[in-house]
Chains A and B, each alone.
Chain A
Amino acid sequence: MWLELLILQDSEAPLMSLDLLESTKAAPPRDNGELVFYEPWQARAFGLAADLVDGGHFTWDEFREHLIEAIAAAETTAERSDATEPWDYYRCWLSALEQAVTEGDLLAPQTLTTRAEQYAARPAGHDH
């Protein structure tokens, strides 16, 4: 389960008031050379979920239930011999986010699909 993101309520407030942390503040939290996010969309999907939880639109517990379902479904799919997509954690995350958003009536599924189709139809070079 994810705790309510206290830190997100005031992005300028220090996350940790532990004095000893000051000395390590500069150390990158990504040892072993591993990035936190590999693609920009993964970071956006993560930040968006956190923002909606922080705004009280759904809880991390609710989100986690969707994530568990999405992961279980993706694993079943990835094990099939005709699987075309490899396992991808953040695709599961995004699927859980879409579920949480539509089940919470924040957006209608068709609204999302329509907008995605509009964006996909843009000429190349005009993403954003």
Chain B
Amino acid sequence: MGDEHTHGHHHDHHDASSPEIRVEALEDLLIEKGLADPERIDATIRRFEHDIGPMVGAQLVAQAWTDSGLRQRLLADADAVVAAMGLRGPEIEHVEVKANAPGIHNVVVCTLCSCYPWALLGLPPNWYKSPEYRARVVREPRAVLAEMGLELDADTEVRIWDSSSETRFLVMPERPAGTEGWPAERLAELVTRDSMIGVARAADPAGQ
């Protein structure tokens, strides 16, 4: 959200049904009634724009790649690992981690809205929230993944995980070959957001 945007809005005319006007009216009224606080709202926005993002999940995955005990615990009971690591935050009340393996590829969607493990991945990208992805990845996952640049072998089993009010999912991508001996911090750079949603593989170490 840049300054240019903000400035632009001062010159636009909006009618009473426009989202700009509705949000401004809603916020001002709630602040006047003492139900909302503009500084807390600012702080929340800053946090989601700058501090919360996929690097959290990436560190978790990279650590699990280098520690088989952690990997087992993460797959068996991610909530316990998250709690033990002191990871706190929204949308990770109950998380399940699904590991990709040769012949098995996991993909996450929320068919009804936009459930997503915020504290591990940040807010979801726009395509994750789109009606096209939410409907099509269930119906024709291979075609959708291919369009997103991920070609799977014909004999690879695709498992779709539909996020719900109870459970959010994180995909643990396969550790790329050629990364033997890499420390977790370096490996984490290969763990992209898309690879943890399951629409990409981990990045190619040759490109790093």
| B-binding residues in A (CB < 8 A) | 1-8, 11, 15-18, 20-21, 23-25, 27-32, 34-48, 50-52, 54-55, 57, 60-61, 64, 67-68, 71-72, 75, 78, 87, 89-91, 94, 97-98, 101, 106-107, 111-113, 115-120, 124-125, 127-128
Contact = CB atoms under 8 A, between A and B. Distances in A.
Given A2-B91, A11-B40, A36-B123, A31 B30 contact: no
Contacts of A54: 40
Interface in B127-180: 129-131, 164-166
A68 B29 contact: no
Contacts of A35: 1
A101 B45 contact: no
B54 A107 contact: no
List the 3 shortest-distance A-B pairs measured between CB atoms, nearest first.
Answer: A29-B53, A1-B165, A47-B41
Contact of B130 (A15, A47, A57, A87): A87
B89 A7 contact: yes
Nearest to A74: B131
B36 A11 contact: no
Nearest to A50: B44
Interface in B17-46: 17-30, 33, 35-37, 40-45
Contacts of B164: 1
A115 B27 CA distance: 11
B16 A116 contact: yes
Contacts of A57: 35
A119 B21 contact: yes
A125 B26 contact: no
B175 to A, nearest CB: 17
Contacts of B33: 106-107
A47 B105 CA distance: 35
A109 to B, nearest CB: 11
A42 B126 CA distance: 13
A43 B45 contact: yes
A24 to B, nearest CB: 4
B73 interface: no
A47 B88 contact: no
B13 to A, nearest CB: 6
Contacts of A16: 56, 86-89, 119
19 contacts: A7-B90, A15-B119, A16-B89, A24-B58, A29-B51, A30-B49, A32-B194, A39-B5, A43-B49, A48-B27, A50-B44, A55-B35, A89-B114, A94-B23, A101-B26, A107-B26, A112-B29, A116-B25, A127-B9
A101 B9 contact: no
B17 A41 contact: no
